[in-house]
Structure formats: structure tokens, C-alpha cells
Amino acid sequence: MAKGNSLRREASLFQVVAYGIGNIIGAGVYVLIGAASGLAGNAVWLAFLAGAVVALFTGLSYAELSALYPKAASEYIYVGRAYGNRLLSFLAEWVMLITEIVAAATVSLGFASYFTSVVNLPIVVVAAALLLLTTLIGIIGIKESLRLNTVLSIVAIAGLLIVIAVGIPKLGSVDYAYSPAGFSGIIGATILVFFAYIGFDNISNISEETKNPEKTIPKALLIAVAISTIIYVLVGLAAVSLVPWQNLSASKAPLALAANSALGPAGSIVITLAALFTTLNTVLVLLIVASRIVYGMARENVLPKVLGVVNKRTQTPIFASFAVLLVALAFLSLGGIGIVAKITSFGSLLTFALVNLSLLHLRRVAPHLERPFKAPLSIGWLSITGLIGLLSCLALLTQFDIYSVALGLILPISGFIIYALIDKGKILGIDKRLHQPHEHKPRA
């Protein structure tokens, strides 16, 4: 790879952890906890805990594979190295790419709805302006983007910590096991709040911009998931302690409502501001990740090569960034964060299942590979954590309603069509370049 067309390695462990937390802790928890409370009642914290199980075990698979193959377009690389099937690799990455872009467009509309409550402007105009602004920030450079991400991640966490702090005196005031719909309500809420965990996987997509990625990426991924889980569970407990779950489910700004109950209007304003900065940060992170996915796929020759060009001054994928911006702008017509969250979760779970399968397959066919990080708990070649990750993804996929499944399946179907157009109908071809599980030196 030519030096002038490479990404710059700038990110430290602290920055990657902050980036990961910024990916995970975003607009989802500020908005979706209300709808999740309507399903799980006081047991909404259990939904966050269940979502963490899927994220943790799949995260361990990402950690091992990212150390083995520290490259952008990570899902494409992992599935490709495992199975060598160009179509399967393309579909895995395509589904993840579209879910990132759709989520970015939707969260930008969420930002605009908060913003326009103060300034009278058209929501779509504000959302489009935010998408453009965050794209330009991402193009300026990964170092500058990560610095801003770190600051905004701190703001996001601070807002949640305020809710936790004011909720601590109220802990124990309700039955935290009560769910109006029983276990099925908790599962339904888990599907919804899983959207709030999506992003842990994105850490692997900045491997080419991270110092010592073989060690840094796995550590950062696990630390980010652990911190986010603790915060989410505590927020869930605090929210239902401060406000009845029925009121949370009816509110468009549930955490602001919770803060208002303890601190008055000032608390609501503070949490609203935190939500604005958080949604801005979420859009920034999603667009950076999506542009790196496009860049990585272009470098793998499955998207036009121009999308793999890196700006010589900033060393960021400028054409990939603008391509992602254009697609995101086209998705601004979508609305309703609840249904989009389900679509995003469905598409992500499909990809996560493939990633876990790839880990299991590589463990079986290439056990000799030198693995800088290896997920714990194995029986021979079989990774117990990878198997649990796979089964948990499949279990959640069976719980979606028919409407969400139908919309979710549009993602791989659209990828199949795009692949056919790009590859001129050679749908079942095998790309030998993808099947390179032996490219690493075996362990001594």
C-alpha cells in the first residue's frame, strides 16, 4: 500500500476507548429508554443487561479478529478471510454500511427535533446541515475528530451520570423485576435497546488509524463495552426510580423528564443540552465509520477505486466521506427512531452472526495462526464465547415482528442487487484474494 494513500496512525488506547464509548453511548439511550420502559416496565434495566450479553460475546469475536486482521471494512475482511466468498463478504459489510448510514440520518433528525424546539427552522434543513458539518469535521483529520469525539463522549456520559446521581436516593422505591408483559416484554425491550449498543463493532474499523492496533483495539473494545453496560444498567434503574415507567414510555424526552422530576426545569435543560451534544457525536461517529467502511471496500476492489483515495494533506478518505454524506442526505425522508432502531438492530445482528461464524470457522481451519488476542474459554478449536455470541444473535433475530423482518431483509437484498451490478452478474464467483487465512506466521 502506498504511503501517500494510507491512513494516519494517530489514535491512542484512551482515544479509541473514548471513540468506542462515543459509538455505543449515543442517541439510543436518550430516546429509546422511554419506549423500552413501555415494554419492560421497571425491568428495563434487565433489557440493557441482556443487550450487553450479546454485545460482550460478539465483542470478544471482534476483538480476536481485529487483532488478527487490523484493517478497515472489518466485517468484509473477517468473513472474506474465513470463507473466501466475495458475495458473502460483500453482503456482510453492505448490511453494516447501510445500517450505519440510515442510523446517522435518523439521529440527525433527532438532533434537529431538539434544536428546532429552540430555533424555528425546518427540521430537514437542520439535519442536512448537521450531516454536512460532521462530514467536514471527519475530513479534517482523524486526530481532530477523535479529540472532538472524546469531549462529546464526556458530555454524553456526564448527562447520564446526572440522571444516575439524582436517582440514587430513590433506589429501592419500586419493584425492579416488574414487567407489564412479563418475559416477552423484556425480550421486546432488549431488541429495541440493542440499538443503543450497536457501535462496539465500529472500533475495529479504525484499526488502520490506531497505534499498535493488534493490542489496542481488543483492549479498547472490551473496556468500552464494560463501561457502557454499567452506565446503561444504572440509568435504567435510576430512570424508573425517578419517574413511573408509564410516564417514561409516554415522553419524547424520557431522561429529561426524569431529571426534571428531581431538579426541576434546570435539570431538564441540562439533559436536553447533553442529548443535543450526544446526538451530534453519534452522527459524527457513524459517518466516520461508514466512510472507513467504504474506503476499505474500495481498497478491496469491491467498490469503485476512487472511493479508496486518501487526501494527501489530511490523510482521510475524502471521496468516501462525501459519498456517505450523499446517501445519508437521501435517507432524511425516513422518520420514527423506533422502527429504524429495529431495522438497524436486525441488520447488525445478521452481520454479527456472520462474524461469530467466521471466528469459529477460522479457529477450525487455521488453528496455527498467530493470534495477538484470543477470546477466552475454548474446547479444542471451538470458541465457547464465539458460540454463545452466535446463538445469542440468532435467538434475538427470532424475536422480531414480521414487519421489522421484512424491512430488515431489504438490506441484504439491496446488497445482492448492487453486487450483481458491480460484478456484472458473477454472483457466485470466488475471490481467491479473500481466502488468505494462512497469511500470518504460525505461532512458534
Residue 149 has pLDDT above 80, yes or no: no
Residue 429 has pLDDT above 80, yes or no: no
Work out the end-to-end distance of the chain between its first and last CA atoms, rounded to an integer number of angstroms.
28
Domain enclosing residue 145, as ranges: 3-422
Q: Is residue 199 part of a domain?
A: yes
CA–CA distance, 241 with 380 (Å, rounded to integer): 46
CB 87 within 8 A of CB 426: no
252-307 pLDDT per residue, tens: 778 888 999 999 999 888 988 888 888 888 888 889 888 988 888 888 777 888 88
Q: Looking at 147-156, 287-296, 312-321, which range is the least confident one?
A: 147-156
- Better-predicted residue by pLDDT, 146 or 47: 47
The gap from C-alpha 180 to its chain's centroid, in whole angstroms, comes to: 29
Tell me the pTM.
0.78
In 3D, which of 35, 97, 149 has the Cα closest to residue 324? 97
| Confidence class for position 321, pLDDT limits 50, 70, 90 | very high
82-113 pLDDT per residue, tens: 888 888 888 888 888 888 888 888 888 878 87
| Confidence class for position 424, pLDDT limits 50, 70, 90 | low
- Outline where 200-264 has alpha helix (H): 213-242, 245-250, 254-263
CA–CA distance, 113 with 122 (Å, rounded to integer): 9
| HEC letters along 138-202 | HHHCHHHHHHHHHHHHHHHHHHHHHHHHHHHHHCCCCCCCCCCCHHHHHHHHHHHHHHHCCCHHH
| HEC letters along 50-115 | HHHHHHHHHHHHHHHHHHHCCCCCHHHHHHHHHHCEHHHHHHHHHHHHHHHHHHHHHHHHHHHHHH
Residue 160 has pLDDT above 60, yes or no: yes
For all residues of the chain together, what is the average pLDDT? 83
Span 396-420, mean pLDDT? 87
Listed ranges 81-85, 210-214, 429-433; the one with the highest mean pLDDT: 81-85
Say what the pLDDT of residue 336 is.
Answer: 60
How many distinct structural domains can be found in the chain?
1
| Confidence class for position 441, pLDDT limits 50, 70, 90 | very low
Span 124-137, mean pLDDT? 91
Q: Is residue 437 part of a domain?
A: no
Say what the pLDDT of residue 278 is.
Answer: 85
DSSP, collapsed to helix, strand or coil, labels residue 31 as: helix
Span 425-444, mean pLDDT? 45
Say what the pLDDT of residue 435 is.
Answer: 47
Say what the pLDDT of residue 43 is.
Answer: 96
Residue 442 has pLDDT above 50, yes or no: no
Span 314-324, mean pLDDT? 89
- Better-predicted residue by pLDDT, 331 or 352: 352
Say what the pLDDT of residue 162 is.
Answer: 94
Span 202-231, mean pLDDT? 81
- As given in the structure block, the three cell numbers for residue 62 are 471482534
6-63 pLDDT per residue, tens: 556 667 888 888 878 877 887 678 878 888 999 999 999 999 999 888 888 998 898 8
Q: Which residues contact 73 (CB under 8 A, 6 or more apart)?
A: 93, 205, 292, 293, 295, 296, 297, 299, 300
Q: Looking at 108-112, 142-146, 222-226, 359-363, which range is the least confident one?
A: 142-146
Span 395-419, mean pLDDT? 87
Q: Is residue 310 part of a domain?
A: yes
The burial class, CB within 10 Å (0-12 / 13-18 / 19+), for 372 is middle
Span 142-149, mean pLDDT? 74
Say what the pLDDT of residue 335 is.
Answer: 59
DSSP, collapsed to helix, strand or coil, labels residue 222 as: helix
The enclosing domain of 150 has a CATH number of 1.20.1740.10
Residue 65 has pLDDT above 80, yes or no: yes
| Percent of the chain whose pLDDT exceeds 70 | 90
CA–CA distance, 3 with 349 (Å, rounded to integer): 35
Q: Looking at 111-115, 202-206, 359-363, which range is the least confident one?
A: 202-206
CA–CA distance, 28 with 195 (Å, rounded to integer): 6
